[in-house]
Structure 1
């Protein structure tokens, strides 16, 4: 049995879902992979709880649910105010797990790698802006740096491109990568205004309270940039051309419907080029996804057209990608 020490940053919805899976499937991970996970620290925006012998995750979840912040957990644990880059230096862990939205997390991802720790993340901006630096550092140190949950939640498009299509030359990818915009556009097809559809998405927890990154196309742009980095070569989000759905009118939606088509926020990825914009697509196309599904059409020289489709949102789905990477990274860690 191999014990793997985890340091988790982020204890919002995704972080708690990930913790729940680690608890629920603990026997499965032991029996299937010979892995015993010990969470030695967990942090939210209020503070960091750290115990080398391991934190009681059930209690952590209860504290967060009842009090809304980990800093309220003072009976058995000391709460620290360490910055992430200090924490990854000081805490003895094998894997750093980032499920935050920290735009500058690349700083402490690099620090973790330099300290000999593997990294698993669902955080998109570090990779969209610093892919080459982060992946290069991990490769130099022979450490895992895994990020399946950054694109299409738990649908394994990253692993497909990184590990499976090794004999294929990718010619291009077309994808719908943002569940919020798909939901909004689907509801507009049913007669809702943009504002009504957005409000409904927020009520259902599909859209964030601040939906800017989704509706302006930035979230899809981050994801498309990451796919380009994996499929072709590194570039940054600043090199992508991105336009969101705020300018899509009910008239455009209705005209598309009259032609048997639909409007979706489509990412087009070719070598050296990333474009995200609303497009009219055939109602028969795999891109005409509904509700909060995501899809990617990958064109290669050998396979032709490969379609991978799955939920692009949801806590269980994102936790699937994150926990899968934790298992994979644990099996890749250097022995000893």
Structure 2
């Protein structure tokens, strides 16, 4: 049985979620796919733990959960201080897993590919800003560069566009791709103030401490841009029209809900055009999602209208997308299936 070795960079909620799935489901993956996956390094902001034979994932998770840092990973283990580029250059791994928010990660993604290592990422900016260079290099090296978890967490819209509807030409994609803004809008609809809704979202872990990327529409714009790259061709992010929800008044939001046309932060993707804008949607229509759900309506020439709905956030959901790509990487590298 061939072994696929991984370096995980980023060990926050998503990184630990990926490690948890790999730890608990490894027997299933071995049985179903004939894949033996081993993690040889994990890097958080304080340290890198490295064991070429395979890291004990349960110990790593417990260390992070208990102490908050991998630098406390037991006296019998050696702990290193390596940045992502050093991990890529110094550690022998088949695939680099990027579950960080590093906006400059494309530099070490490119370095990994140059060194013959595949890349799996949930990190959006590299795919948004350097898509063509990364994908072209990966293709030239016959290596996987996979990013399912960048849009709609584990809901498989990326692979639907890349692999499943190859005979179709996409006409338009309409969607709601940011759960934080939907949560805030629905909370205001039920009587909360904007400030109260945001605080509740942050307390629940739905919104970041700095929620500006969500509220200004940047996160949704990243996701819509990635979909344009796939459905049509790479588009410059500077060409994307972006309006967030911060200029909507509480009165406007509640009045729209009363009229049966609630506001949602809607992404529209057409050839040569990406727009993010708060729009009124029909209450019983597909875009009137609630909570943190995401939805995409894909219009094609042959299949007509396809709707894909699922959680757009969450540790398990995002881990599903990342681990699914790890298995795809194994298939690509070793031709398991």
Instruction: Give the structure-1-normalised TM-score.
Output: 0.98
1:311 paired with 2:286, answer no
Note the C-alpha offset of 1:251: 1.7
Please list, as runs of the form range in 1=range in 2, the aligned pairs for 1:69-218 lying within 5 A after superposition.
69-218=69-218
Alpha-carbon contact 1:130-1:236 (below 8 Å) kept: no
Partner deviation per Cα, 1:259-300 (whole Å, 9 max, x = no partner): 211100000101111110111111121000011100000000
Q: What secondary structure sits across from 1:265 in the alignment?
A: strand
CA distance in 2, matches of 1:138, 1:77: 34
Note the C-alpha offset of 1:252: 1.2
CA distance in 1, matches of 2:320, 2:47: 26
Please list, as runs of the form range in 1=range in 2, the aligned pairs for 1:207-286 lying within 5 A after superposition.
207-286=207-286
Question: 5+ unaligned residues in a row in structure 2: which ranges?
Answer: none
Q: CA RMSD in A?
A: 1.2
Alpha-carbon contact 1:143-1:334 (below 8 Å) kept: no
Alpha-carbon contact 2:173-2:269 (below 8 Å) kept: yes
CA distance in 2, matches of 1:43, 1:236: 31
Q: What secondary structure sits across from 1:282 in the alignment?
A: coil
Q: What secondary structure sits across from 2:96 in the alignment?
A: strand
Partner deviation per Cα, 1:123-149 (whole Å, 9 max, x = no partner): 001111111111111111110000000
CA distance in 1, matches of 2:236, 2:24: 38
Aligned to 2:26: 26
CA distance in 1, matches of 2:77, 2:229: 41
Count of matched residue positions in the alignment of Structure 1 and Structure 2: 336
Partner deviation per Cα, 1:148-174 (whole Å, 9 max, x = no partner): 000000000000000011000000100
Partner deviation per Cα, 1:299-324 (whole Å, 9 max, x = no partner): 00011111000011111000000000
- Large movers: runs of 4+ above 6 Å: none
Note the C-alpha offset of 1:238: 2.2
Q: What secondary structure sits across from 1:333 in the alignment?
A: helix
Alpha-carbon contact 1:109-1:119 (below 8 Å) kept: yes
CA distance in 2, matches of 1:76, 1:264: 52
